[in-house]
Chains A and B, each alone.
Chain A
Amino acid sequence: QVQLVESGGGVVQPGRSLRLSCTASGFSFSDFGMHWVRQAPGKGLEWVAVITDDGSHEYSTDSVQGRFIISRDNSKNTLFLQMNSLRSDDTGTYYCAKDRHQYDTSAQVDSWGQGTLVTVSS
């Protein structure tokens, strides 16, 4: 079965950087678009970034553009989110998720990790 395991979360000071990883198994990782979705404490879901199956195209929400970079290593079945210049409003649980479609990206995510908590605080 599909498994997505996030790591790399923790407490970090404002302005610093953090790199999240998501290790995938149970499916052909290189065939599917992948997503990062976050949720601030007590708030709703927010799509952070999306990357195509081959890594050739990416999308990121306005609030993280220029600060966060999504990437993937298909040889290692791993998705990354490099987060720079972190702010307090980046605090939340970050979920790694798999697109339902092969060779495409969409708003249909059919598998989620358990999430990793990022806390930005001095």
Chain B
Amino acid sequence: QSVLTQPPSTSGTPGQRITISCSGSSSNVGGNTVNWYQQLPGAAPKLLIYSTDQWPSGVPDRFSGSKSGTSASLAISGLQSEDEATYYCAVWDDSLNGPVFGGGTKVTVL
């Protein structure tokens, strides 16, 4: 059971905007920046958003991150079939003194 809570799954149609939530506490989301990873089927994870709302080189700006209090969100605009993947939030936890992942959210493009 992760200290970061994500919905197990969500879905959308091509072109739609969807959001994925990541709920934590003051020792992780509330006090530190949030990162998001995308894992395509059969592949290693990939850093998608870092420091809550920053994009690594090559990541399209259809993906965006935000945070409010102890909750964070990843938004995917203009959903595409290649976005079908599992998305994980990740944060440094000050109580554990280490990084933690959320449970992951599987995105299905209908």
Contacts and interface: CB of A to CB of B under 8 A. Distances in A.
A59 B44 contact: no
Given A108-B35, A112-B44, A114-B44, A45 B50 contact: no
Given A100-B50, A107-B90, A110-B56, A47 B99 contact: yes
Interface size class of A (residues with CB under 8 A): 20 to 34
Interface stretch (B9-17, B63-71, B77-85, B100-108): B100-108
Contact of A106 (B37, B44, B99, B104): B99
B47 interface: yes
A109 interface: yes
Interface string A67-103: 0000000000000000000000000000100001000
B100 A112 contact: no
B56 A113 contact: no
A107 B92 contact: yes
In terms of DSSP, what is the predominant structure of the interface of chain B?
Answer: strand
Interface residues of B, number: 26
B57 to A, nearest CB: 10
Given A47-B99, A107-B32, 15 more contacts: A35-B99, A45-B101, A47-B98, A47-B101, A50-B98, A59-B96, A59-B97, A60-B98, A107-B92, A108-B47, A109-B47, A110-B50, A110-B56, A112-B44, A113-B44
Interface of B: 2, 32, 35, 37, 39, 44-47, 50-51, 56, 86, 88, 90-92, 96-104
